[in-house]
Amino acid sequence: MALFLSLLLILLFHSTNADWPPSPGYWPSSKFRPMSFYNGFRNLWGPGHQSLDQNALTIWLDRTSGSGFKSVRPFRSGYFGVSVKVQPGYTAGVITAFYLSNNEAHPGFHDEVDIEFLGTTFGKPYTLQTNVYIRGSGDGKIIGREMKFHLWFDPTQDFHHYAIFWSPKEIIFLVDDVPIRRYPRKSAETFPLRPMWVYGSIWDASSWATEDGKYKADYKYQPFVAKFTNFKADGCSAYSPARCRPVSASPFRSGGLTRQQHRAMRWVQRYHMVYNYCRDPKRNHALTPECWS
């Protein structure tokens, strides 16, 4: 009997661990202090669809409008994170986003680094999309660099921390301090180097968000709500002196990831990545040198 129980516990332990990433061994979010919303951000649009309660920001989309916010300062590198909880149920066509961009400074020719929750239909998981593009035109000529994931938890049940680390040589996307993607700088032409602001928003992207636009936003389920808290934005602002040293997502001051962080990232990409633009045979990889190695 004791042997049977021991074997059962071992099986349960391995089954549980198979569904959860290995420890990254380093928690960059703990290195940066949270800020109150109004210390770092302002409403950008849809002020009537935004409310703040004890530093938890709620934004929502209905038939009349969505909402968005923007950081007060632009940055040229840094750690940018926020804890998010998204709405359960039917959310097809709806995008909840946290991202870096300079689209207002360079309209029609801007850089962007995205974390986006792509809304879904009943019984299907959210897709977390990460994307990087450089000097995008916004007219269909954008070279997207999408990687998509189904998370190892339900993002509608609780807050989880999502972050973008951006330095002059790499971009790292993290979920609860687990690296899920590293985008290295291969050339100045394929890497964002101009200052960017931090944004968050909820909006209707029915034309493409859910299964390439198959399912649209259905406003009988409105309002579509997203909650943000634990705001973090730290690094070299556009106004910092040239000697400002970029922060790191690992214990190494020079950047990069540890072996343990790489191991956790490989686990996520093996078990939870559902799309990788580098493996898409329909894409022109002559334009994406980061896919060559």
227-237: per-residue pLDDT in tens? 999 999 999 99
What does the block give as tokens for 20? 């959860």
Mean pLDDT confidence for 3-8: 46
Local confidence band at 201 (pLDDT 50, 70, 90 cut-offs): very high
Please give the positions annotated as active site: 112, 116
CA angle 128, 132, 136 (to 5 degrees): 125
Give the range of the structural domain holding residue 120, as residue numbers without chain letter: 31-291
Residue 11 in this model has a pLDDT that exceeds 60: no
Is 23 part of any domain? no
Q: Band the pLDDT of 1: cuts 50, 70, 90.
A: low
Residue 190 inside a domain? The answer is: yes
**pLDDT of 175-196, one tens digit each?**
999 999 999 999 888 999 999 9
Inside any domain, residue 12: no
Contacts 24+ apart (CB under 8 A), 256-259: 256/170, 257/172, 257/179, 257/182, 258/24, 258/25, 258/26
CATH number, position 229:
2.60.120.200
Confidence of residue 15 (pLDDT cuts 50, 70, 90): very low
Position 16 scores a pLDDT of: 42
pLDDT digit string, tens, across residues 55-69? 899 999 999 999 999
Is the pLDDT at 10 greater than 60? The verdict is no
CA dist 126 and 24 (Å) reads: 23
In a domain, 13, yes or no: no
Whether residue 7 lies inside any domain: the answer is: no
Average pLDDT of the segment spanning 257-274: 98
Number of domain units in the chain: 1
Q: Is residue 144 part of a domain?
A: yes
- If phi > 0 it is left, if psi is from -120 to 50 it is alpha, else beta; for residue 192 that is beta
The confidence score (pLDDT) of residue 137 equals 55
Mean pLDDT across 145-165: 98
| pLDDT, tens digit, 9 for 90 and up, residues 97-147 | 999 999 999 988 899 999 999 999 999 999 999 999 898 755 556 788 999
208 found inside a domain: yes
Which residues are CB-neighbours of 34 under 8 A, at least 6 positions away?
55, 230, 231, 232
- Flag whether 205 is in a domain: yes
Per-residue confidence band for 4, with pLDDT thresholds at 50, 70 and 90 = very low
- What predicted TM-score, i.e. pTM, was given to this entire model? 0.92
